[in-house]
Structure 1
């Protein structure tokens, strides 16, 4: 029963879902739930969503394949990409937010521990089930801009957002969760923690959180130096760590101290100067400190993303260093995967195990990202062994095979869920087929329903039309390039649940759809 049905019957106010945290993950998840007409309350501890760390120079985040596809499939891509469209990023490079096909770009395409790979070395022809289209791009967005767009979208869909009211505690039963936020109490059928690395929801629910301790304290600082020319721009390794100066006075620093100074003392000008001197091995003078924050490479992950009626997503479920820019994309993928499954659970028509498939699918993805960031730390260590490994990786990444492999990992091209099906497309993101009527598959997913694509318009599949009600749309259209496929069943998150290269059997589709949509 949804909130609207509760209200019609005169019951006390009970939200379908309460989300702790109004960052990108929480806001995007809230909108996903509203596609199913659920009542959603987002509680955010901070009263003011603005922060210098969410804006340039430190607030830029790279958005990669699965995130861009998710925004495109929900009609958000253009709004997010509006930021700074006309700014010039240099020869051949898009402005932050500019939508440019990856195949037309040149220059650095990403990096691994600071070792860059180039667009010109990437062989995208190996990616059999990818098609050019609006989501065939990578671009950057400031966190503040991204959150603003997602908040406006959530509000327009009817999500309730209360800022200055962070989740402080809760009690969970078999039927609902009673949430405490300051002097207020809220009831919900489900609670989702999207409240960051120090998640109150995760801690109070007793989720097991396991991983590895940090090797360094990372600093993001903006300073004024007495002589800016003393330290060159770019990335530099020293005997005790690493520093990168992106533009004069804007630094990223890794001090291999075991994470000793992360949130342990005020970030004063004197302290930042001492760290910069130690890591750069140069007697620099910092005259003024404008922005400073710390972070570490501590890597931890919840052993499960669900305990009863409490779930985790984003940094609440997994933390790691920001190396490679994977954290935001990982969290957005959690939200896209969880939204339609939790909605089905609330409606009461979810097939057995659907909600548990959230952990089954997303936990391995998170674990793989944590290993990816740990491997980068291993290359950054200030010792001769790591320098030797760097040389090997540098040679490898400069080859066509190497650059293609790293692009697959960084961009999310290699992402595939194990759905127990043999077809190589199953478990992967659905290609953005252009149909004969001019529409694309991505645009047909905006309402959050699944799709049964019948390229051959087979009579047995036409008989299935309407079998799953509003949960699956039957689309009998040929495609401009069907990639040798005859029919594809697409989940609401845009991932393929079943596919066939030959004349499909209706019973195969029926079984696959029943597994995901609960109808026989």
Structure 2
């Protein structure tokens, strides 16, 4: 039995998992001065599945905004600027169940309270590149990352957790499981994880073929499933077998060839297997994201089919929402209920994404009923209103938390205001603080903000387009928490600040 008697130094927060979600959360916590240890089972972050073409991920608007507001977007986009011309087609803006919608059909004018921004639209990035950018930032600002040290379990007391990893133990006030769909933290913590069973086994493979001309490029729906060949020899395949093969054994050349023959309905012959992994459309979600001093984020909290890259985006949204709330709790500055709002806000978003994934699977089934539905969606998505709707959902442009109040901007991502001095709002959020923006330069608002100096940045400046607002409060995650269209009600403004930032110092 491992000897856990020797406990290493203590940390405010221990994070299990050094994927994008764990690393982004670590950066958020460290920005707020919290000590963070990240434990990762894998010895190295490098994997062929994280590199192109398998590692390509579509990023939604909230994810792009998160990187933009923390000053990381240019680093993330740099490899894309160096990509070969034509490698990233711009006409196709996304898809639903493989049915594409185009940029030229999207009417972004229907999205009220958005302003032009470098974070507009969507973009793609390589998973390995995302992790490299985040790991570099994390280590630069003082996050400790230990690779080859996987969490095996933990013990929890009223004062924190002791995390067991190999023959060592680490003490933390909080533990966050960002360790994927098979999360050890979730299982050891006894979190309930419920949902729907899979309908298919999916495969991502790189192969050599004796007769490559037998299979077309692109997405091909067949009577038995579908395959999509992004470039010669690089395949994704779906076989509607109820998820029977997933993790039932090692993936061999013979197995891949048999599946590809069944799905493509050809006698294609494979000569070599270089990369192979399987996955399913199982859709499950934790019924709670917190138990005591243990929290879940990313795939540890919810899993679904990787259709359209929604999993990564959902996880980054979790990290952006949780980071500042957990940091305020660690520092003893959090108002009552702040940490509970993480689950209240993010669980409904996760449930919606799971249903979006289930809907896509229903349309992709190899049945006459599904094909009839796909034909209707293809007609709808080809219209201007249809493309706009699907873009809004896929890009998550319209995400809104229920914070109370009727104004359509309340609970949504703040617009990227361009101030009179040329500064953009996003540039003021790189340090992870909230903003109290005063377009009319009201002395009383300045005085109010003094009580939260260090937690809240007061910004008094006009803007090129202020969207009819006189003032607004922006949380550290970029969500509008209060606003005024006329002379601000100081009592209401103070209540909003206390609600999200706690009592004044």
User: TM-score, normalised to structure 1's length?
Assistant: 0.94
The residue that corresponds to 1:22 in the other structure is 18
The residue that corresponds to 2:372 in the other structure is 388
The residue that corresponds to 2:244 in the other structure is 260
1:475 to 435, 459, 463: 459
Q: Deviations over 1:293-317 (max 9, x none)?
A: 1000000000111111000000000
1:358 to 342, 345, 356: 342
8 Å Cα contact 1:243-1:280 kept in structure 2 = yes
2: CA distance between counterparts of 1:337 and 1:308? 18
The residue that corresponds to 1:212 in the other structure is 196
1:64 maps to 2:60: yes
8 Å Cα contact 1:460-1:505 kept in structure 2 = no
The residue that corresponds to 2:126 in the other structure is 142
1:425 maps to 2:421: no
1: CA distance between counterparts of 2:376 and 2:290? 41
When structure 1 is superposed on structure 2, of 456-465 and 77-86 the one drifting more is: 456-465
1:489 maps to 2:473: yes
1:346 to 330, 333, 337: 330
2: CA distance between counterparts of 1:319 and 1:233? 29
In structure 2, list runs of 5 or more residues that go unmatched: 1-6
1:32 to 16, 28, 31: 28
C-alpha deviation, 1:51, in angstroms? 0.3
8 Å Cα contact 2:201-2:240 kept in structure 1 = yes
1: CA distance between counterparts of 2:8 and 2:184? 26
8 Å Cα contact 2:8-2:169 kept in structure 1 = no
Q: Deviations over 1:415-447 (max 9, x none)?
A: 000111221111100000001111111010111
Q: Which runs of 4+ in 1 moved over 6 A?
A: none
Q: Deviations over 1:182-211 (max 9, x none)?
A: 000110000000000000000000000000
8 Å Cα contact 1:299-1:370 kept in structure 2 = yes
2: CA distance between counterparts of 1:127 and 1:503? 26
User: TM-score, normalised to structure 2's length?
Assistant: 0.97
1:440 to 421, 424, 442: 424
Structure-2 change in CA distance of 1:504 and 1:451 (3 Å)? same
Q: Deviations over 1:8-44 (max 9, x none)?
A: xxx9832100000000000010010001111100000
The residue that corresponds to 1:7 in the other structure is none
When structure 1 is superposed on structure 2, of 460-469 and 340-349 the one drifting more is: 460-469
The residue that corresponds to 1:503 in the other structure is 487
1:300 to 284, 292, 307: 284
SS of the residue aligned with 1:465? helix
2: CA distance between counterparts of 1:141 and 1:120? 22
C-alpha deviation, 1:369, in angstroms? 0.3
C-alpha deviation, 1:516, in angstroms? 0.2
2: CA distance between counterparts of 1:145 and 1:37? 26
C-alpha deviation, 1:362, in angstroms? 0.4
C-alpha deviation, 1:87, in angstroms? 2.2
The residue that corresponds to 1:228 in the other structure is 212
The residue that corresponds to 1:337 in the other structure is 321
C-alpha deviation, 1:137, in angstroms? 4.0
- Within 5 Å, which residues of 2 pair with 1:400-411? 400-411=384-395
Q: Deviations over 1:371-418 (max 9, x none)?
A: 000000000111100000001100110111110110001111010001
1: CA distance between counterparts of 2:114 and 2:280? 36
2:81 to 85, 94, 105: 85
The residue that corresponds to 1:43 in the other structure is 39
C-alpha deviation, 1:89, in angstroms? 4.3
1:457 maps to 2:453: no
Q: Deviations over 1:346-379 (max 9, x none)?
A: 0111000000000000000000000000000000
C-alpha deviation, 1:501, in angstroms? 1.4
Q: Deviations over 1:94-137 (max 9, x none)?
A: x66xxxxxxxx951100000000111111100111111122224
1:414 to 398, 401, 410: 398
Q: Deviations over 1:271-310 (max 9, x none)?
A: 1000000111111111111111100000000011111100
1:193 to 157, 177, 182: 177
